[in-house]
Amino acid sequence: MLEKRIELFKDYQPTEGSFKFSHAFITPRSSEVEDLSHEILEEYLDSNTSLGEVFTCSVSIASEAVRLALERLGLSSKARINYDLTQ
């Protein structure tokens, strides 16, 4: 297993830039919202990262995907956004 991971990432070149957790959507059925958001953002999935699911898009595009997922699931009125992530 380790050999397979080493082989998979031996030529990995990290992309330049950084990412930061900016805000959170608090909602029931968060797993469904996440899954649908990932489907919406599929074209932005970075297949070269070793970090798991990373999307190379702006915060506004990612936020809009979550808002759209909430709308499609009928959860828009039940969700809130937390911008103060220090709590």
Predicted pLDDT at 51: 75
Predicted pLDDT at 53: 82
Q: What token pair was written down for 3? A: 């050999």
Is 12 domain-assigned? no
> What is the longest distance spanned by two Cα atoms in the chain?
48
Predicted pLDDT at 49: 77
d(CA 36, CA 73) in angstroms, rounded, equals 9
* Residues in the chain where the model's pLDDT stays below 50: 87
Q: At what angle do helices 59-72 and 30-40 cross, to 10 degrees?
A: 120
Q: Domain containing 64: what range?
A: 31-75
Predicted pLDDT at 39: 96
Q: What token pair was written down for 35? A: 């899954």
The number of distinct structural domains making up the chain is 1
Is 21 domain-assigned? no
Predicted pLDDT at 74: 95
Q: What token pair was written down for 36? A: 């649908």
Residue that has been written with the tokens 């031996």 in this structure? 10
Is 17 domain-assigned? no
Collapsing DSSP states into helix, strand and coil, what is residue 55?
strand
Is 63 domain-assigned? yes
Predicted pLDDT at 48: 82
